[in-house]
């Protein structure tokens, strides 16, 4: 049995000593990051769970992890031997578990820097319903309990992001936000999300990504800072000046004034006294929105501007995908040569792909932990192989790699599923249905103004017809040398980020899949640009990824003539764009690999 590396037993005495009934431990940091840096991964320290997103509730005598379907199997493995229940990431699941384990009048503590205002409001509602009390913490106990083993603080240098990659100067972007404030009647806008700050001010973190013993990186090159934009055009950037590189300091002030990060709370208090202050409440810690009180207004204008890519950003994304696909194709050709002759582990395969990407001068590091999954590992949609004990690829027919890279001008995130042995009929059927779902969305045409969630069933219908489904979203927006995950989101749940309409210039992923617990999984993922259709007031997609699809995993007879035609045209484009970047051996492999689609 695996020895669980959790610290629940250290937190429970702490709770008893302070007359608290429980503690909420989310996966976020003070910037509500999806991918928190190592020193901020309190959820991992507390529970041993290595996934990027989740929440733990730790009580004096019980503990539970609340996770979405991507992480259920992973959490069962990583918390084996620990007294931690695995529950769905739903409000109802929290309600049922708390009703069972938490008595009326109990005191449940949370760190206000790690939760948004809407999140806290939901907890307050649940507290009123179940009769417990919420206690705001001044300090997080994990920070003291972690001790000397805690990784160093994440404080990378901040560098300029050139206009040739962003498409606009930061002065133009600040002016656009200022005009928004004037139209909306806001006195100021708090820009609390580092990704929004990075976009607005044309800056990025100088992250030197590298492979660590845990097989991880800090992978979002956003600058962990905040800004305040006022309707008179002034922009205050709260950042410690020692973090600014020479190329940022040398580019001129424009409308931006730099102040130390510890001045933010005072500036917010002053702004709230002068008028309404906007903030993206989903991406702003409760500790900051509480300062604004009645002056706070929900406003995600910067995020929505960021989702719409400038033509220069779209061109950069196209180029990044061609560069990246060449590395992945070389990797696939290497697998085809190597696996029949030598044992290759999931971890070693990920290392190989990382080394191939790193050969290109423009590569800046991985955009995500490499998800390298063979056979049963592939049943975990977000599986990341450990350095020790990962499976070998040689004893199962199905292997997938979900990975991506950062390049000046673009970020990639694609999934390649291939057969490394003779696939069984169930493998071919599952992959064929996923392919049909993928092509259905890639070919979709829809009216302008269609909310993103309505497109989810276009893909899913192909699996539903056979009684199959998958427990994750179908697509998400992608940043420009930023986070691979942004809005809008194509998924069934109707939330603000999925109700936002797809519009021209957005980049969105297409990633249906299918997974069989402890058996295998398949997924196909690519990036698409939303473009105008030839029909007035309609939109469609232009696929910009260039990874091939494995014909050995496709029942061609199940494909319609339209699907076959689309696949043929797509693979001709793959050959045209990728073959010139390949060595002779890899080019020959690619030509042979895609030939069935081109000939059919």
pLDDT at 3: 42
Q: Which residues pair with 373 in a beta bridge?
A: 400
Residue with tokens 């909420």: 24
Rounded to the nearest angstrom, the gap between the alpha carbon of residue 208 and the centroid of all alpha carbons in its chain is 19
Residue in 289, 258, 111, 117 with CA at minimum distance from that of residue 190? 289
Given this chain, do its domains 8-149 and 158-307 carry the same CATH topology? yes
**Six-digit token pair at 78?**
């990583």
Can the peptide bond before residue 488 be classed as cis, meaning omega within 30 degrees of 0? yes
Q: What is the 8-class DSSP label of residue 366?
A: B
Domain residues of the chain, as ranges? 8-149, 158-307, 311-599
- Cα(196)–Cα(280) distance, rounded to whole angstroms? 10
CB 183 within 8 A of CB 219: no
Within 114-226, where are the H helices?
Answer: 117-130, 141-146, 163-166, 170-184, 194-201
Those residues whose C-beta lies under 8 Å from the C-beta of residue 199, and which sit 6 or more positions away, are: 166, 173, 302, 305, 306, 480, 482
Q: Crossing angle for the helix pair 311-338 and 584-599, nearest 10 degrees?
A: 100
State the fold for domain 158-307: Creatine Amidinohydrolase; Chain A, domain 1 (3.40.350)
Strands 398-403 and 414-419: what pairing?
antiparallel
**Six-digit token pair at 404?**
């991506």
Q: What is the DSSP string of 388-413?
A: SSPPBGGG-SEEEEEE-BEETTEE--
pLDDT at 218: 64
- Cα(323)–Cα(317) distance, rounded to whole angstroms? 10
- Cα(33)–Cα(479) distance, rounded to whole angstroms? 14
Strands 158-160 and 133-136: what pairing?
unpaired
pLDDT at 537: 97
Rounded to the nearest angstrom, the gap between the alpha carbon of residue 573 and the centroid of all alpha carbons in its chain is 28
- Cα(377)–Cα(383) distance, rounded to whole angstroms? 7
3-state secondary structure of 75: helix
Domain 8-149: give its CATH superfamily.
Answer: Creatinase/prolidase N-terminal domain (3.40.350.10)
Q: What is the DSSP string of 140-161?
A: -HHHHHHGGGSPPP----EEE-
Reported as half-sphere exposure (CB side, CA atoms, 13 A), residue 424 has a value of 8
- Cα(145)–Cα(149) distance, rounded to whole angstroms? 10
Residue in 351, 335, 409, 337 with CA at minimum distance from that of residue 384? 351
Three-state helix/strand/coil letters over 294-333: HHEEECCHHHHHHHCCCHHHHHHHHHHHHHHHHHHHHHHH
Between CA 75 and CA 81, with CA 80 as vertex, the angle to 5 degrees is 145
For the chain, 600 residues long, give each residue's pLDDT as a single digit of tens. Answer: 344 567 999 999 999 999 999 999 999 999 999 989 889 999 999 999 988 899 999 999 999 999 987 888 888 888 888 899 999 999 999 999 999 999 999 999 999 999 999 999 999 999 999 999 999 999 999 999 999 999 988 888 999 999 999 999 999 999 999 999 999 999 999 999 999 999 999 999 987 644 444 445 568 999 999 999 999 999 999 999 999 999 999 887 679 999 999 999 999 999 999 999 999 999 999 999 999 999 999 999 999 999 999 999 999 999 999 999 999 999 999 999 999 999 999 999 999 999 999 999 999 999 998 999 999 999 999 999 988 889 999 999 999 999 999 999 999 999 999 999 999 999 999 999 999 999 999 999 999 999 999 999 999 999 999 999 999 999 999 999 999 999 999 999 999 999 999 999 999 999 999 999 999 999 999 999 999 999 999 999 999 999 999 999 999 999 999 999 999 999 999 999 999 999 999 999 999 999 999 987
Residue in 374, 428, 444 with CA at minimum distance from that of residue 549? 428
CA distances from 234 to 70, 120, 158, 204 (A): 43, 31, 21, 21
**Six-digit token pair at 149?**
């083993």
The Cβ of residue 97 has, within 10 Å, a number of other Cβ atoms equal to: 18
Rounded to the nearest angstrom, the gap between the alpha carbon of residue 311 and the centroid of all alpha carbons in its chain is 23
**Six-digit token pair at 477?**
């927006």
- Cα(190)–Cα(230) distance, rounded to whole angstroms? 9
pLDDT at 393: 96
Residue in 294, 266, 273 with CA at minimum distance from that of residue 117? 294
Whether CATH 3.90.1300.10 fits 311-599: no
pLDDT at 6: 77
Q: Crossing angle for the helix pair 311-338 and 561-578, nearest 10 degrees?
A: 90
């Amino acid at each position: 049995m695996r020895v669980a590396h959790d610290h629940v037993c250290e937190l429970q005495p702490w709770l008893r000593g302070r007359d608290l009934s429980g503690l909420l431990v989310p996966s976020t940091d003070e910037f509500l990051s999806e991918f928190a840096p190592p020193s901020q991964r309190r959820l991992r320290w507390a529970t041993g769970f290595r996934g990027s997103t989740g929440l733990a509730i730790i009580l004096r005598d019980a503990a539970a992890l609340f996770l979405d379907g991507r992480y259920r199997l992973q959490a069962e493995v990583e918390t084996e031997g620990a007294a931690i229940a695995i529950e769905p990431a739903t409000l109802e699941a929290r309600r049922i578990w708390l009703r069972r384990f938490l008595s009326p009048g109990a005191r449940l503590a949370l760190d206000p820097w790690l939760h948004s205002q809407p999140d806290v409001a939901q907890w307050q509602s649940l507290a009123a319903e179940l009769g417990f009390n919420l206690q705001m913490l001044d300090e997080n106990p994990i920070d003291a309990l972690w001790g000397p083993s805690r990784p160093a603080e994440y404080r990378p240098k901040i560098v300029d992001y050139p206009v040739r990659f962003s498409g606009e100067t930061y002065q133009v972007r600040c002016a656009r936000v200022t005009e928004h404030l004037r139209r909306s009647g806001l006195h100021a806008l708090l820009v609390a999300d580092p990704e929004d700050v990075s976009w607005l001010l044309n800056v990025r973190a100088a992250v030197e990504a590298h492979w660590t013993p845990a097989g991880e990186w800090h992978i979002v090159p956003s600058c962990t800072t905040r800004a305040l934009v006022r309707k008179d055009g002034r922009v205050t950037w709260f950042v410690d000046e020692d973090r600014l590189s020479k190329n940022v300091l040398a580019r001129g002030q424009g409308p931006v004034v730099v102040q130390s990060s510890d001045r933010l709370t005072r500036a917010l208090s002053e702004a709230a006294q002068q008028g309404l202050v906007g903030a993206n409440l989903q991406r702003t810690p409760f500790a900051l929105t509480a300062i604004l009180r009645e002056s706070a207004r929900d406003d995600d204008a910067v995020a929505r501007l960021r989702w719409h890519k400038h033509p220069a950003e779209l061109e950069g994304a196209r180029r990044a995908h061609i560069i990246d696909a060449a590395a992945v194709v070389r990797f696939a050709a290497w697998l085809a040569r190597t696996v029949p002759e030598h044992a290759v582990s999931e971890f070693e395969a990920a290392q190989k792909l990382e080394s191939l990407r790193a050969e290109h001068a423009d590569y800046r590091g991985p955009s995500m932990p490499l998800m390298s999954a063979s056979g049963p590992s592939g049943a975990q949609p977000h599986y990341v192989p450990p350095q020790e004990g990962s499976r070998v690829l040689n004893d199962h027919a199905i292997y997938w790699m979900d990975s991506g890279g950062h390049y000046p001008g673009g970020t990639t995130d694609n999934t390649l599923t291939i057969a490394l042995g003779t696939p069984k009929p169930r493998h071919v059927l599952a992959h064929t249905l996923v392919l049909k779902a993928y092509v259905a969305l890639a070919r979709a045409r829809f009216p302008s103004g269609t909310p993103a969630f309505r497109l989810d069933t276009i893909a899913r219908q192909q699996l539903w017809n056979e009684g199959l489904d998958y427990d994750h979203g179908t697509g998400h927006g992608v940043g420009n040398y930023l986070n691979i995950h942004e809005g809008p989101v194509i998924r069934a749940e109707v939330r603000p980020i999925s109700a936002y309409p797809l519009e021209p210039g957005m980049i969105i992923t297409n990633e249906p899949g299918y997974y069989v617990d402890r058996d295998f999984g398949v997924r196909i993922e690519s990036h698409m640009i939303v473009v105008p259709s030839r029909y007035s007031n309609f939109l469609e997609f232009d696929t910009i990824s260039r990874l091939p699809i494995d014909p050995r995993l496709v029942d061609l007879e199940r494909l319609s003539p339209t699907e076959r035609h689309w696949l043929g045209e797509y693979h001709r484009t793959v050959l045209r764009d990728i073959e010139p970047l390949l060595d002779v051996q890899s080019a020959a492999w690619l030509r042979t690999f895609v030939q069935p689609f081109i000939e059919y």
